[in-house]
Structure 1
Amino acid sequence: MSVKLALPTALLAVLALSACNDDEPTASDDPTTEATTSDSASETPTEETSEATESASTETEGTAPVGDVTAPGTELKIGDKAVLPLTYGTDGTATVEVTVTGIKQGTSADLEAAKVKKAADYTPFYIQLDMKILSTGPEGFGGYTPGSDFDGLTGETKAGSLIVIGDFAPCDNDNGFEYDAKAGDTAKGCVPALATKGSVVDGVQFSGGADDAGYDQFDGKPVVWR
């Protein structure tokens, strides 16, 4: 990514999405956009799964062997690796080894610096990822950042999401794979999550991949780190 250190403050905004809102709004140039969160728990995934899910192994714990795709519903610990089928756009695919290396707690001052309204009511948390491409599909893979596939969890509830426009020093969520990414390439990612004051983001879920991959939070089972 390009580091936009010269970006004017007026173009820096942080938007907090509802925890259950699947549609991310268009980026705003208003630096005082109000942050919102959702206190409701995520819906329970249905019993139905895709053929890909049905053919996967049953729910497991621990680190998946490198090369094996981690089954939907797998429970991992922070620091464990998962091997996930990631997608970018309509054709870009890759099998990627992902490690959630930590969840770092930020401060309300981080949000105040980004001019978020009622910043004192929220605490940001920064999900830190290490990623390594094991293989790519025939159409290649790249231009990928993890913000749309990985979410913070507060207990069993999906935490609020933050969309950052411009440079946000505490968590550079533009990090990811460039368009010419290939097997063996590595990248670090940071996904910001938002909790109401007094709550803690203590887990991470992956609910991305292709529609029939089985990781969807409603029609499948995400991979979870705690």
Structure 2
Amino acid sequence: MRKILILIAAILLQSACTSQTAIIKEEANVSASKEEAPVNIILMIGDGMGVPQISTAFYFEDRTSNFERFKSIGFHKSSSTSHWITDSAAGATAFSIGEKTYKRAIGVSADTVPKETILEKLQDKGYKTGLISLTSITHATPASFYAHVKDRDMHEEIAEQLVVSNVDFFAGGGKKYFNQRKDAKNLFKELANRQYNVDTLALSKSNASTKNAFILTEEGLPSKNRWSW
């Protein structure tokens, strides 16, 4: 046993420098990977942003496009299961559930079966989630990440599902789907009962200690050229 221990000690002494160097490199790599880990992940979806729109950015004026800062750029077939030309609902649902579906579908498969979205998966893992839209927050694109309905125009049903979705922060338009409903419900009160900071007038700041709901216009928000800066 003593000879074995001496032999092990000799091997360890011979490799001490190499091992120490390896440990230092490994610790440096771990440290670097921790530093490079993203704090937040933002998925930005531009309405109608196809290849022509993106390629235009590369040739606009005499400056470098921000798209050239991306290390990777990919392409995907945008057709839905029912049409060659997709719409916002099927397009966003493909992003949110990871599979194609029919035109006008929100968070459901081609057979209208509700599917777990990436937002819901992240919530299950303890991540905070948020949605911002320049249209109604019940519009097809944002809705596809938290709602599950068979048609994109079911705005009142979509708004109800948003109330119980536990999204930590959302902002956009669509007030009428919350307080001018056919069933006479006031979903703003329900949000307040769920401890949301609710703002429909753009008077408050986001409160990090609670969930926040900013619904600021009846439908979509004004386009940027109508704001005064």
Q: State the TM-score bracket (shorter-chain normalisation).
A: under 0.3
Higher radius of gyration, 1 or 2:
2
Give the TM-score normalised by the residue count of structure 2: 0.23
More helix, by proportion: 2
Give the TM-score normalised by the residue count of structure 1: 0.23
